[in-house]
């Protein structure tokens, strides 16, 4: 009788432990990051597809790991040597990651445009080589907004997607045209849209998918970020934007048309500026005329960044 009393609690503990383990194995953890693809392949029978990647913002190439890709069409579009903003998950304590999303808008539209162009060329309606018309928005940046459940997307709404593998500033997959900032809630509903034509006179060009580097630069508690465009071989020109309380996007004025910066932390299309101990934003650029680096500092004053001598 005494042994029975001891055995029942042990059995109940075992059942509870089994339930906890089962729930853990059933749950799925999801990661979103910028990945750099170093290799891709299939198993021997060609049914299982994978990509070998590393998080280019937090890892080195030697830390590359594999992600299973179930969608054959998506796998065929992923290119070795390219970067994507991707979401991937794994169940429980397993080591196998499965790709959930790698900017499917861009991938699917690129494929659709390629098929349309090929068919038109075969019918004698268009040349086989040329730009691909964008038929629906293509997302080039997908960034969670700090302190909210919303996401800020940078989307190409009118223009062209094409590939240019000749050496140069725009080598790779090129997204060119009119863009919008689009804020979506956690289920994908559009909250606010801001056209970049409010800030730029002409089309913008990006050569890959990238995250926006968020930080509060003017001390108002709202997330800010930089957006860059190629300037020359020594640097890019950046503007600073801010996510407002109503999720519209406003530009934070800087001296001149933008900040000319060489290098910087983060992606070349959105670097993270670092304030010093005095709250000044410091950056530098290489002056080809002077043959040296020039250092600059900015302070927020009366609704704009001003240069501090």
Task: Please report which confidence band the pLDDT of residue 14 belongs to, taking 50, 70 and 90 as the band edges.
Answer: low
Dihedral, CA of residue 81, residue 83, residue 87 and residue 93, to nearest 10: 40
Q: State what percent of residues in the chain have pLDDT above 70.
A: 76
Which one of 102, 125, 145 terminates a domain? 102
> Over 70: is that where the pLDDT of 23 sits?
no
Q: Which of 62, 80, 102 is the last residue of a domain?
A: 102
- As a whole number of angstroms, the distance between CA 153 and CA 118 comes to 30
Beta bridge partners of 225: 241
What's the total number of domains in the chain? 2
Q: Are residues 94 and 69 in the same domain?
A: yes
Based on the fold, state whether residues 173 and 301 are members of the same structural domain. yes
Residues 284, 238: Cα–Cα separation, whole Å: 12
Tell me, yes or no, whether 88 and 129 share the same domain.
no
> Higher model confidence: residue 255 or residue 127?
255
SS3 107: helix
Evaluate whether residue 12 is within a structural domain: no
pLDDT digits (tens, 9 = 90+) for 112-136: 444 444 444 343 433 334 444 445 6
Q: Domain containing 190: what range? A: 105-307
| Residue 129 domain flag | yes
| Shared domain check, 198 and 164 | yes
Q: Of 79, 102, 125, which closes a domain? A: 102
- Do 174 and 258 lie in one domain? The reply is yes
Q: Is the pLDDT of residue 72 over 90?
A: no
Which are the contacts of 128, defined by CB distance < 8 A and separation ≥ 6? 117, 118, 121
Q: Which residue has the higher pLDDT, 108 or 204?
A: 204
* 207, part of any domain: yes
- Among the residue ranges 58-72, 120-134, 218-232, the one predicted with the least confidence is 120-134
Residue 76 lies in a domain: yes
Looking at the fold, whether 129 and 221 belong to one and the same domain comes out as: yes
Residues across the chain = 309
Strand 172-184 and strand 151-164: pairing? antiparallel
Strand-strand pairing, 83-91 and 265-267: unpaired
pLDDT surpasses 60 at 96:
yes
- Same domain flag for 234 and 144: yes
**Same structural domain, 57 and 148:** no
Q: Are residues 73 and 128 in the same domain?
A: no
Q: How confident is the model at residue 33 (pLDDT cuts 50, 70, 90)?
A: confident
What would you report as the CA-atom Rg of the chain, rounded to the nearest whole angstrom?
Answer: 24
For the segment 65-78, the average pLDDT, to the nearest whole number, is: 83
Average pLDDT over residues 23-49: 74
Is residue 155 within 8 Å of residue 180, measured between CB atoms? Answer: yes
Q: Tell me the CATH number at 72.
A: 2.40.50.140
Same domain, 172 and 184: yes
* 11 domain residue, yes or no: no
Whole-number pLDDT of residue 278: 77
65 and 169 together in one domain: no
Average pLDDT over the chain, rounded to whole? 80
Same domain, 149 and 248: yes
How distant is the alpha carbon of residue 296 from its chain centre?
28
Lowest mean pLDDT among 55-59, 108-112, 207-211, 271-275: 108-112
Let me know if residue 33 belongs to a domain.
Answer: yes
Cα–Cα dist 92/98, whole Å:
13
- pLDDT at site 128: 37
pLDDT, position 29: 61
Please indicate, yes or no, if residue 1 is contained in any of the structural domains. no
Q: Is 16 inside a domain boundary?
A: no
Label residue 240 by pLDDT band (50, 70, 90).
very high
Q: 273 near 215, Cβ under 8 Å?
A: yes
| 27-41, 142-156, 244-258: least confident range | 27-41
Distance from C-alpha of 2 to C-alpha of 6, rounded to nearest angstrom: 7
Instruction: Lowest mean pLDDT of 28-32, 94-98, 174-178, 229-233, name the range.
Output: 28-32
Quick one: average pLDDT of 259-274?
Answer: 92
Tell me what the mean pLDDT of segment 238-243 comes to.
98
Q: Which of 69-83, 125-139, 224-238 has the highest mean pLDDT?
A: 224-238
């Amino acid at each position: 009788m005494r042994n029975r009393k001891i055995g029942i609690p042990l059995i109940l503990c075992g059942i509870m432990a089994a339930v906890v383990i089962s729930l853990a194995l059933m749950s799925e953890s999801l990661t979103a990051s910028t990945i750099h693809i170093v290799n891709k392949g299939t198993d021997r029978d060609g049914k299982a597809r994978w990509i070998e990647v590393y998080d280019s913002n937090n890892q080195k190439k030697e830390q590359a790991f594999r992600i299973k890709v179930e969608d054959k069409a998506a796998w065929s579009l992923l290119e070795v040597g390219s970067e994507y903003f991707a979401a991937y998950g794994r169940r429980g304590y397993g080591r196998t990651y499965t790709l959930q999303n790698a900017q499917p808008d861009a991938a699917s539209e690129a494929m659709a445009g390629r098929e349309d162009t090929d068919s038109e060329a075969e019918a004698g309606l268009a040349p086989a080589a040329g730009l691909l018309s964008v038929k629906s928005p293509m997302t080039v940046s997908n960034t969670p907004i700090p302190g909210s459940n919303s996401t800020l997307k940078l989307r190409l709404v009118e223009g062209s997607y094409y590939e240019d593998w000749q050496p140069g500033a725009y080598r790779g997959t090129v997204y060119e045209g009119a863009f919008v900032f689009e804020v979506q809630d956690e289920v994908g509903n559009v909250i606010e849209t801001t056209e970049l034509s409010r800030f730029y006179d002409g089309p913008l060009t990006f050569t890959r998918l990238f995250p926006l580097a968020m930080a509060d630069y003017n001390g108002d508690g709202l997330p800010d970020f930089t957006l860059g465009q190629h300037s020359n071989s020594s640097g890019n020109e950046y503007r600073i934007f801010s996510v407002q309380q109503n999720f519209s996007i406003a530009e934070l004025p800087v001296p001149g048309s933008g900040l000319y910066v060489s290098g910087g932390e983060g992606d070349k299309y959105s670097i993270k500026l670092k304030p010093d101990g005095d709250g000044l934003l410091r950056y530098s650029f290489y002056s080809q005329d002077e043959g040296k680096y020039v250092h600059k500092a900015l302070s927020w004053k009366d609704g704009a960044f001003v240069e501090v001598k």
